[in-house]
Structure 1
Amino acid sequence: MENVLTCFSTCPDAATAERIARALVDARLAACVNLLPDVRSVYRWDGDVVVDDEVLLMIKTTPAQLPALRERLVALHPYETPELVALPVADGLPAYLQWVADSTGAH
């Protein structure tokens, strides 16, 4: 079974989210990116508690692609400190996990 990661990042709007998602998939840094609209984030920034409406990206990739994905996300993202957290996929449909690996060029 291939190693797969699900990464999360938030974007300020749908247009930014789609632009980043397309760039990651086009570059084979992600096999798939789901855009989840209407996410409300509450967080501390510069000493204040902030509430923002955002779009959540769920990015499927492999550990081999994570360093390049991280670099590209930071380059594309409008936030000073974009969110990027990667969680290992413990299990899944083997054919899907293989598809993620094949789609990102990881073998």
Structure 2
Amino acid sequence: MTRLSEQEDFQVALCTAPDQETAERLAELMVSDQLAACVNIVPNITSVYRWNDASGRSAIEKDAEVLMIIKTHAELMAELGELLEKEHPYDVFELISCNIEQASSAYLEWLENSLRF
């Protein structure tokens, strides 16, 4: 099969969740909607970040989280963001992505066949 997409159109996206159950629920939604071909869930990460409290004061926070590594396509990032906007429990959730610069042609073909276009 000839791939419709260029390699650089495929993305690895990162998104954190508060716990394993939430990450699994979100991952299942992404894969069932074919917005992600695969989501790896990495438990037990620690996030350290600056956050403003209700009074507007900035503080350094540290929380246990779960990381989702999402394999998707650039054309699906907006829809993926909409799904997370609706389903993610955080008011401000992380969704960042990088182009896949190198991958086997068989893997790229599997990605393309697993995603909605």
Work out whether 1:67 is the aligned partner of 2:78.
yes
2:50 counterpart (34, 41, 44):
44
Q: CA deviation at 1:105?
A: 2.5
Give the TM-score, by structure 1 length. 0.95
Identity %: 39
Work out whether 1:96 is the aligned partner of 2:102.
no
Task: Choose 1 or 2 for highest CA Rg.
Answer: 2
Query: 1:52 is paired with a residue of what secondary structure?
Result: strand
Give ranges in structure 1 of 5+ residues lacking alignment: none
Q: CA deviation at 1:97?
A: 1.1
Give the TM-score, by structure 2 length. 0.87
Distance of 1:22 and 1:4 partners within structure 2: 19
Query: 1:45 is paired with a residue of what secondary structure?
Result: strand
Query: What amino acid does structure 2 have at the position aligned with 1:18?
Result: E
1:31 counterpart (29, 37, 46):
37
Backbone CA RMSD of aligned residues: 0.9
Aligned to 2:93: 82
Query: What amino acid does structure 2 have at the position aligned with 1:54?
Result: E
Give ranges in structure 2 of 5+ residues lacking alignment: 1-5, 53-57
Aligned to 1:10: 16
Query: 1:90 is paired with a residue of what secondary structure?
Result: coil
